[in-house]
Amino acid sequence: MVNLSVNINKIATLRNARGGNVPDILKVAVDCQNFGADGITIHPRPDERHITKNDVFNLKPLVHKEYNIEGYPSREFIDMVISVNPNQVTLVPDGPNVLTSNAGWDTIKQHNFLSEIISEFKENKIRTSIFIEPDLKMIEYAKLCGSDRIELYTENYAIDYNINKEKAIHAYKKAAKFALDLDLGVNAGHDLNLENLEFFVKNIPNLAEVSIGHALISDSIYLGLENTVQMYKRICL
């Protein structure tokens, strides 16, 4: 079984567009778990354009399953994560002005930087995951940095899926097998949806978790949140 972590950033974006507290992301987080999600993912950014710092702390007692916080490891982010102590922190390389995570880490160039940060999280018993492309050398250095898991950046898979799904999955199968050989856990995320998720899950047998936000929340507008979470979860079983 693959764990489904629902990224609720888009709920916060909708709330912030109007001000106030509608929709209530705390209620959404609780409901998603009750509907069958295995965890909640958030990606707070310095400008608080969706998830706020208060959200990060307020969600902690309400996430009774897996709590995953994504972000660029600035000093402020590191201190916040250590204070909240989630189950997992996912490190992404994008700076504060990037609209959405759109590339994986260069774990060779950033080896010393990542190693120091990961060591600090591990001292606080927080599982670490590095957002990464399906590049074997980058995965090798993710292991050398001390990471517990990698999160495979799946945008290219999603783009190529409708052209040639066998070709689209090839690099990811190879990357996941290599990670398994290195005793690295494998997560995945970015542009996975109801159309392409099943093929990905079936072809990555050691996949531990998928983090899905934009597509799931978009689907829920038409299908309803409870139904949508359960549809994604059934694919992950």
Is 190 one of the annotated active-site residues of the chain?
yes
Is 64 one of the annotated active-site residues of the chain?
no
Is 43 one of the annotated active-site residues of the chain?
yes
- Give me the torsion for CA of 70, 211, 208, 178, rounded to 10°: -70
Catalytic residue of the set 50, 66, 133, 190:
190
Q: How far is CA 169 from CA 98, 158, 161, in A?
A: 26, 9, 8
CB 219 within 8 A of CB 9: no
CB 89 within 8 A of CB 74: no
Catalytic residue of the set 43, 66, 151, 209:
43
Q: Which of 169, 181, 235 is nearest to 206 (CA)?
A: 181
Residues paired with 89 in a beta bridge? 69, 128
Please state, in angstroms and rounded to a whole number, the distance separating the CA atoms of residues 172 and 160.
12
Catalytic residue of the set 70, 133, 151, 209:
70
Question: Any idea which residues carry the catalytic annotation?
Answer: 43, 70, 190
